[in-house]
Amino acid sequence: MRTTSPHNNVIERTLRNSILDGASHSAMLGLTRNYVVPFALPLQATTAQIGLLASVPSLTMALSQMAAPALVVRAGSRKRLILPAAFCHAAIWLPILLIPYLFASHQVWWLIGLLTLSAVAGSLGIPAWGSIMADLVPEGIRGKFFGSRGRICGIVVLISFFVGGAVLQFCAGNAFIGFSIIFGGAALFRLASWYFLKRMHEPRPCSTADEKVNLLGLLVNLKESNLGRFVIFASLMNLATSLGSPFMAVYMLRDLGFDYLTFVAINSVTSVASLMSFTFWGRRADRAGNVRILRITSLLIPLVPILWTISTRLYVLIPVQLLSGFAWSGFILSSSNFIYDAATPQTRTHFIAIYTMLTGLAISIGAVLGGLLAPILPDLFGNRLITLFLLSGVLRYFVAATFLYNISEVRRVPVIRTVNLLFDGIASLHSRLGAAFAEIESLLFTLPVGVTRRDSFSVSMVLRPATIDC
């Protein structure tokens, strides 16, 4: 009779609690992430303030990551940092929902300040959490596990997002009451997330070498390592994206005049596509490697803002948002798994902190630039934001074509044609799609003259496996 060891039972319970934590956290995200800008608009936020609303929290979040590894060492364990940060994150939503009632003036600035505190509290434990999960989930099934977890989280985000939209539509006569309800619910769900995090088992670190790792040294020499070059690429892609993404809600609600239900419908399409795609990308990342998925999705992501410039019709925008959710789910999943694979256990917390810090800085810079450029760009189809979206898409293509070619896979994976990877067994598509994908990839990712590609397998030979039995 097959038995399960007590140790494995502990791991299984921890991973279940991780999924419940993710679901609770996702419910909070669904009630907040896409409703911050709609909350700021009736507070009379300007376009420049919308840019600051996206940039200032990201900037402070990024800077706080420099302290995260040291705080883990000082706390004595990773959970001792994660739990207080999660509790504070939940608590800060209470004064946010009270802004319309507590402050008679400068309400937008209070919102920016409180969201900044919320961003720091919500992100401070990310490196420690990522380090724990990398220790718990074996390398060979990370794509499958995080893909399934992401799909569950996506479903919860979608449901809570719909609930938030229904609440706002029901409270259309007094929007602030609706926002108070959904932000209060967000605080409760984040408390539930804190509870499940508390029940998770923290494996003993494989090494105490984290104390000796020089975070500043890793940062200075970032471009010298394969993982460092990936962090630079991901940061620049986030910068190009945030140039236009914070202003999508402004464009829909203010310029196109969409009501809350239409706004929810368009954004929910992205969530639907994401939750349907996480498992798809996870299995393919396990087969062909995370870098391969990054290359494919980096061809699709720039299309999203460009296609938004074509039409304001829902029958056009909804397929565009489907594409957005499909592409971004693969990009985000492969990005996190690449860091887990490429970083050694001794440096994983530090590299996650560097990744979070630099992407946060990039989002901040992009949002500020977008806010500064939006009023001075030339009109396209009568709207400057459309010009901003087009610029964002072009820059995304430029980043992908310039930086992705020099990032190598760290796992030994078979060479699989892109069309076979995406369309398993659909032979009729090979001749039509295979040539197209090959031509696009060769145009964007051909190595410049004099540059040689690194051996894809050399890095994996020196990485220690992420186990919990060290």
Q: Is residue 3 part of a domain?
A: no
Q: What is the pLDDT of residues 395-407, one digit of tens each?
A: 999 999 998 888 8
235: in domain: yes
Q: How many domains does the chain have?
A: 1
pLDDT of residue 462: 25
For residue 411, being part of any structural domain is answered with yes
208, part of any domain: no
Query: Residue 175's closest CA among 184, 187, 183, 167?
Result: 167
The pLDDT score that the predictor gives to residue 463 is: 26
Asked whether residue 70 is assigned to any structural domain, the reply reads yes
CATH number of the structural domain spanning residue 59: 1.20.1250.20
What domain range includes position 57? Answer: 11-199+213-445
Q: What is the pLDDT of residue 429?
A: 40
Residue 470, in any domain of the structure: no
463 found inside a domain? no
Query: For the segment 173-189, what is each residue's pLDDT rounded down to a tens digit?
Result: 788 899 999 999 999 99
| Residue 12 exposed, middle or buried by CB count within 10 Å (0-12, 13-18, 19+) | exposed
pTM over 0.75: no
Q: Which residues of the chain have pLDDT under 70?
A: 1-8, 139-140, 205-220, 424-470
**Is residue 433 in some structural domain?**
yes
